[in-house]
Structure formats: structure tokens, C-alpha cells
Amino acid sequence: MTGSGPTRHRETGIRLADQQVIGKVGRVTGTIGPERVGEVMIAIRGGSEAFNAYAADTTDTISTGTRVVVIEYFPPRTVIVSPM
């Protein structure tokens, strides 16, 4: 399927809501810094979920409350983010 609508699970054929993480906007809930894992909340699957987060620029410090965009995702709960 194309577009941003529901997709089908390839084995069961069941339609699933969009569960993409890359490109989502979130808010920092735990400061992200050089060599320091932080935390972001991202709206996904009908609610908000917490993800461990690292800054795309490893020298950046991103403070609590900053809006960020996810640029890379490592299942199950790690994202690389950049401030907006």
C-alpha cells in the first residue's frame, strides 16, 4: 500500500495503524547530552511512549522541554533525535 494510511501485516494480512517512528516529533523529558542517554516522549499507537534518546550531533546538549524530530530508530526503544 502507499500513502500514510493503515498498512497490512505481511504475514497475517491484518491492517495495522501507522507505527513509523522516524520523522515523528517528540518532547525531551530527560536531558540529552554528550555521552549521556536522555529520554523523549513520542506520540505513537494512540498514546505517548518513552524512548531512550541520543543527539544526532554528539556534541549537542538538548534540554528538557525541547521539541525534537526522530531521525533514526533502533528497536525496541532507542532513537536518534535532532532539535527542531
Enter the C-alpha cell of residue 40. Answer: 523523549
- Read off the pLDDT band of 72 (50, 70, 90): very high
3-state secondary structure of 42: strand
φ, ψ for residue 12, nearest 5 deg: -100, -20
Please name which of 21, 9, 8, 18 lies closest in space to residue 49, comparing C-alpha atoms.
Answer: 21
Dmax over Cα atoms in the chain, in whole Å? 44
Which residues make Cβ contacts (< 8 Å) with residue 35, sequence separation at least 6?
A: 58
pLDDT at 66 over 90: yes
Domain ranges of the chain: 21-83
pTM over cut 0.85: no
CA dist., res. 30 & res. 50, Å (int): 10
CATH superfamily of 21-83: Nucleic acid-binding proteins (2.40.50.140)
